Every structure is written in structure tokens, then in C-alpha cells.
Structure 1
């Protein structure tokens, strides 16, 4: 299995966190199951080799070769029975209004196809990404496409964008009322504007980001769950376990053991 990330061009860095690639060989007669977790950022996904099916489907989303995995508070499971290659574009949630001209909250928890979001241009982008000779060419293709989207839509990076980015930067450890007052907005005004850009209320978004910070402790297996909970801003271990189960489907002990389903890429 191979997993790596690529920095975006500087002109995209306000909206694109990074590009990533995941490739793996799957032996004939075997299957690989991947689990996505709750995430405060969105992703554009291109399956250029192999195709996953979703397990435990309880939504009306259909899984396509090129999709937007919007910011979500749910975990989902996918299965593939062949070798695969995926190119991803990890976006700040406010990139959705910038690139797709809609509030982030419209697509929260969903996986719309890029052709549904972008029409013919989405289908053309999908075909180019699938036919690219390598991932270096995919980086160039998607960078050109996203820069064109920015030029067409000319989005403005505002103080509210910085607020969302700030919650990510401080790993969700924020007092929402204090944050709202720092922007001279009533809690209701702040929540409405924040949700348009992040996809969720500030309180829910902070919980998801705090959970994501806990996931990043995977490489520190020597730490106790109590230490991880404390460092990630949880009041107590039971609160930490509750959020972790809700957002991942795992007890944190199972996840940090390295034996959980769909986390093999983290050991690469």
C-alpha cells in the first residue's frame, strides 16, 4: 500500500489543504474495506483505478468514479475487490462556495458526483483525471481546473473564512460564544454565517475538528487514552469515548491498537 500527500500551488493554498494519493494491490479473491470518518473538511475524489462499493448504505447517494465527499459527521464504509488507485483533493469546507457556488451546508454529509455539481465541465474533468498518465499530470490538471474556477467566481476570503480556518488550526478547542463576540456578531448571526462556510453549526464543527485532532494521535501509540483525551480538549475520558464512537464507529482503544478496519494506510 502507498499513501502520500502533495502540497497545492500557493495560489490555491487558501482553499486546498493538500492533494493525496492512495494506491494498493488487492490479491484476487480478497477484498479491502476502507472506512471514512467524520471530517470537517471536504474532498474531491477520483478513482482512477478500481472502484469501491459502499457498505451499509442508508442514504440515496450513489458512489461514482469522481465525487465530492463533503464535510460530514458520519463514518462510512467502502469495499473493493481489485487493486485500486485514488487521487484526492483535501479542501477547506469554505472551498465549496468558492468552487461550486453553493453554501457548504447544502452538501454536508453527502457524496454528490462532480457531474451533478458541475455539469458537462465536471464530466470532462473526470475523464481527464481518469486518462492522465500519472499523478503528476493529475496534479497539473486539477490545479488548472481549480484556478480557473477561482478566476471565474472571484470569491472573497473574509473574516468568517478565517474563523473557520482558525477553529481547524486550534483543533476545535474554542469557546463558541467568545468566538462569536470577537467578530461583533450575535450568536445567531455568527452561527448562520459559519454554517454557510463550514457546513455545520460552530458547536458541531468544533466537536468534529476535536475528533479529527484525536485521530492524528494514531502515531503516538505510547500515549494513554486519558492523555489523548486531555490533550485534545475533552473534559473526561467518557466524553472522548462517546464522540469517538459517534464519529468513527470505533472505541478509541480499538482504533489506536492499529487493528481497526480500514486504517492500514496510516501504517505506511
Structure 2
């Protein structure tokens, strides 16, 4: 399996966190966990099926958005595959698709449903592209067009970035005062742009901070919890199980299918 990521151009660094590629010649099961940042996904080779708890399956989209939220989902493919992804900052959904982020929370809408013929054309162009560089160039043109016609800056973006990179236990009152908004304004705008309440967003962000410590040998669960901003190990285990479906001991053991793409 091959995975790599590419940083965005400077002009898109406020909306794109990274581009990434995941390719494999073997069958693969993907574990989708709680997420604060939406992703635009293109399967340019192969097609995954979602596996449900009752044993049924259903084809996933070939191009679409993986929205923010607490959903834990599992996908499988029995053949070789190749995926290209755009990992956004949370405010991307309202800015690019002109809908509240709440409309995509815990959802995976097909790109054609969001953008109609524009979405179909974008999927075709990415699918036919000859290289990762060409796929990125296609997305950059799409972003330039969307942002030229719909970009609206908000102070809330700074609060979002703060909680993405530095999850905090600050109260809503403290956060709202930092950005000169009332608590009600802050919560309403935050949920519009992220699809999540500030409290839930911060919890999931802290969970991702913990996941990023995968691969650091010799760390105990207690040290991972403290490094990630948890007050105690029991709180850490509770959140980790809620947002991943796994005990952190299983995840950090290196023997879970959920970390196969990182090996």
C-alpha cells in the first residue's frame, strides 16, 4: 500500500490542509472515524462498498464529500484501488458548496448531488488525469473559481483554526469574547461553518491529536492522554472508543486494521 500527502499552494492554505493519495494492489478495509474536517474524495480506480453492522453492504460513491461528524463507518474493496483526496479546513463546505456545514454533518453526499453537472465534469476530469500533479491542478482551478465568486471571511475562521491545531478546554464564553462575538453569535456561526458545536468539535480535535501519536514507540496510554490534553486516562479511553470504535490500546498496538494505511 502506498500513501503520501502534498501541501497546498500558498493561495489555498486557508482552506486546504493537504492533498493525499492512497493506492494498493491488494484488498483493503478502511475504518472511517469521527472527523472535524471534510474531505473531497475521488476513487479513480476501484470502488469501495460500505459494510453495515447488520451484515449488509452498499456501494459507496466514486466521488463525493466525507462530512464532519461522529460517524464510525467501515468500507471494503476486494481489488486494487487508487484514491485522491482533498483534506479541507472545516469552513470549506459553506465556501465551496454554498450550503451550511450542518447539511453534510455525518453524511457522505455524492459530488453530483452537490454540484450537479459541475460535479460530474469534475469527477470525470480527475478520473482521466494522468498524474497527481494534474489532479491537483484541476482542483486548484475549481477552488479558484468557487472562491472568486463566494469567498467571505469571518473572524470565526481564526477560532476554527485555533481549535483544529490546539484543542482547548476554554468555555464558549471565553472563546466568543476572544473574537468579539456574543456566545449565541459564536455558536451559531461556528456550527454553520463546521457542522458541529464548539464543544464537540474540540473533543474530536483532541481525539485526532491523540491519534497522531501513533508510531511513537514506548508511550503509555497515560502519556498519550496527557500529551493530547486529556485530564486522565479514563476520559481519554472513553472519547477514543466513542470516536473510533476501538480501545486505544488496540489502536496503538499496531495490530489493528485501522492503521494499515499508515504502515
Scaled to the shorter chain, the TM-score interval is over 0.9
Give the Cα separation in 2 of the matches to 1:51 and 1:227: 39
Aligned match of 2:91: 94
Deviation sequence 1:58-103 (CA, Å, 0-9, x none) = 8xx9621001001121221100000110000000110111100011
**Distance in 1 separating the partners of 2:205 and 2:168:** 5
Aligned length: 260
Check whether the contact 1:226–1:236 (CA below 8 A) recurs between aligned residues. yes
Q: Name the SS for the 2:257 alignment partner.
A: coil
Q: CA RMSD in A?
A: 1.5
Q: CA deviation at 1:41?
A: 0.3
- Correspondences of 1:182-221 after superposition (within 5 Å): 182-221=178-217
1:158 partnered with 2:154: yes
In structure 1, the gaps of 5 or more residues are none
Contact kept in structure 1, 2:34 and 2:71, CA below 8 Å: yes
Offset of residue 200 of structure 1: 0.5
CA distance in 2, matches of 1:119, 1:93: 22
Q: CA deviation at 1:171?
A: 3.2
CA distance in 2, matches of 1:173, 1:37: 22
Contact (CA 8 Å) 1:7, 1:18: kept in 2 or not? yes
How far does the alpha carbon of each residue in 1:20-59 deviate from its partner, in whole angstroms, 9 at most, with x for none?
0000111xxxx3211011111000000001110001168x
Q: What is the alpha-carbon distance in structure 2 between the residues aligned to residue 174 and residue 91 of structure 1?
A: 24
Q: How high is the TM-score relative to the length of structure 2?
A: 0.95
Q: How many angstroms apart in 2 are the aligned matches of 1:88 and 1:172?
A: 28
67-76 or 164-173, which deviates more: 164-173
Inter-partner Cα distance in structure 1 for 2:79 and 2:135:
22
CA 1:186/1:62 → structure 2, altered by over 3 Å: closer, same or farther? Answer: farther
3-state DSSP of counterpart to 1:88: strand
Per the alignment, residue 52 of structure 1 pairs with 48
Write the mapping of 1:8-157 to structure 2, written as runs, cut at 5 A: 8-26=8-26, 31-56=27-52, 63-153=60-150, 155-157=151-153
Query: Any runs of at least 4 consecutive aligned residues in structure 1 with deviations exceeding 6 A, and if so which?
Result: none
Deviation of residue 143 (structure 1)? 1.1
Contact 2:48 2:59 in 1 (8 A): no
- Partners of 1:143 and 1:6 lie apart in 2 by 13
Are the structure 2 counterparts of residues 118 and 62 from structure 1 closer, same or farther at C-alpha, using a change threshold of 3 Å? farther
User: Structure 1 residue 234 and structure 2 residue 238: aligned?
Assistant: no
Cα pair 1:74 1:246 within 8 Å, conserved: no
Other structure's SS at 2:50 match: strand
**Contiguous gaps of at least 5 residues in structure 2:** none
TM-score, with normalisation over the residues of structure 1?
0.93
- Superposed CA deviations along residues 185-212 of structure 1, whole A, max 9, x for unmatched, are 3322211111111110100000010001
